[in-house]
A and B are shown apart, each in its own frame.
Chain A
């Protein structure tokens, strides 16, 4: 477990290894993030699912309410609209998270700071 490793005193050789490991890990992480950025299709697909899921859930709720109360098609119409709004809300939220992540990745200073806080 890492907690125990941190407490134990480090001989210089181990410290050196630690530093080299950390360096290697740093470059690996950067490589990962740039690779994920290329995965634009995945991001687009995520946004589409969010939107469609909202419409589907709204439609199903509206349809079942109509089915129970016999008010076809009013609840379906209302909840289809509400579901679309919920879908759009989801898309905006997901996109905001994606943007924040992207900005963090792009910002080299932010990355370095993050690394520092993780290290201590």
Chain B
């Protein structure tokens, strides 16, 4: 961490977000190199697969530690979908479960020292948010046909104001992928930068570095809470958007 470039002033809290190419790849002029970001995504997917399949391989009636952990995450997401979208939303449960687990594992893996936090890059979270946004909009149009446009018409509004309000509603709808992605990315970026800055203080302050060290222990706990909370918020907002598309009420 900070020790690697501790010449006193050479502490760079943004160094951890640097993308490094491990395998240079080029696909039709597009840079698709295998980077440290890709590596940690692969690790996250591999761990999720291992967690969900290996823990359930026993299929015991009385679950062991791992099996009950897997069942708990399943139940957690399932009740989230049922509460926020309704039982007909359970069709989309696999997608929401995958999204939740991926974000959760990426956030949590980012808490390991020397690892890379995939979700601290806006392009990653924005790509996921845009995919969710487009998917949900398509589901809305498939379910309601052109009637989905009524979603942008607030009820009980005089005809004079209607064009203005419809434009505002559409812009408000378009902000969804941005607020969804910025929330996750900014929380991760800010948290990890803060951790590194305080780690730098530990090195700089010599014996008094104990004080920021104590603070860092608390901060790490908070970051783990935020890592979980942001995965939860990401999934629940996906549920809410899906609910809007399926049932069309604000």
CB pair B167 A54 closer than 8 Å: no
- The answer to whether A50 has its CB under 8 Å from any CB of chain B is yes
- The answer to whether B179 has its CB under 8 Å from any CB of chain A is yes
CB pair A85 B168 closer than 8 Å: yes
One of A53, A86, A89 near B182 (C-beta < 8 A): A53
- How many residues of chain A get a CB closer than 8 Å to chain B's CBs? 23
Roughly how many angstroms separate A86 CA and B168 CA in the complex, as a whole number? 5
Given A2-B75, A45-B183, A58:B171 Cβ within 8 A: yes
Taking CB atoms, residues of chain A closer than 8 Å to B250 are 93
CB pair A89 B179 closer than 8 Å: no
Interface of A is mostly: helix
Interface of B is mostly: helix
- The answer to whether A95 has its CB under 8 Å from any CB of chain B is no
CB pair B171 A50 closer than 8 Å: no
- B106-131 contacts to A, CB under 8 A, are none
Q: Whole-angstrom distance from the CB of B219 to the nearest CB of chain A?
A: 13
CB pair A57 B183 closer than 8 Å: no
Q: Whole-angstrom distance from the CB of B74 to the nearest CB of chain A?
A: 9
Roughly how many angstroms separate A42 CA and B175 CA in the complex, as a whole number? 19
- The answer to whether B19 has its CB under 8 Å from any CB of chain A is no
Roughly how many angstroms separate A15 CA and B187 CA in the complex, as a whole number? 43
Roughly how many angstroms separate A92 CA and B158 CA in the complex, as a whole number? 21
Could you say which of B172, B178, B186 has the most chain A C-beta atoms within 10 Å of its C-beta? B172
Spell out A's residues near B (CB within 8 Å). Answer: 2, 39, 42, 45-46, 49-50, 52-54, 56-58, 61, 79, 82-83, 85-87, 89-90, 93
29 A-B pairs with C-beta separation under 8 A: A2-B75, A42-B226, A45-B183, A45-B186, A49-B182, A49-B183, A49-B186, A50-B175, A50-B179, A52-B182, A53-B179, A53-B182, A54-B171, A54-B172, A56-B175, A57-B171, A61-B171, A61-B174, A82-B167, A82-B171, A86-B168, A86-B169, A86-B171, A86-B172, A89-B168, A89-B169, A90-B172, A90-B179, A93-B250
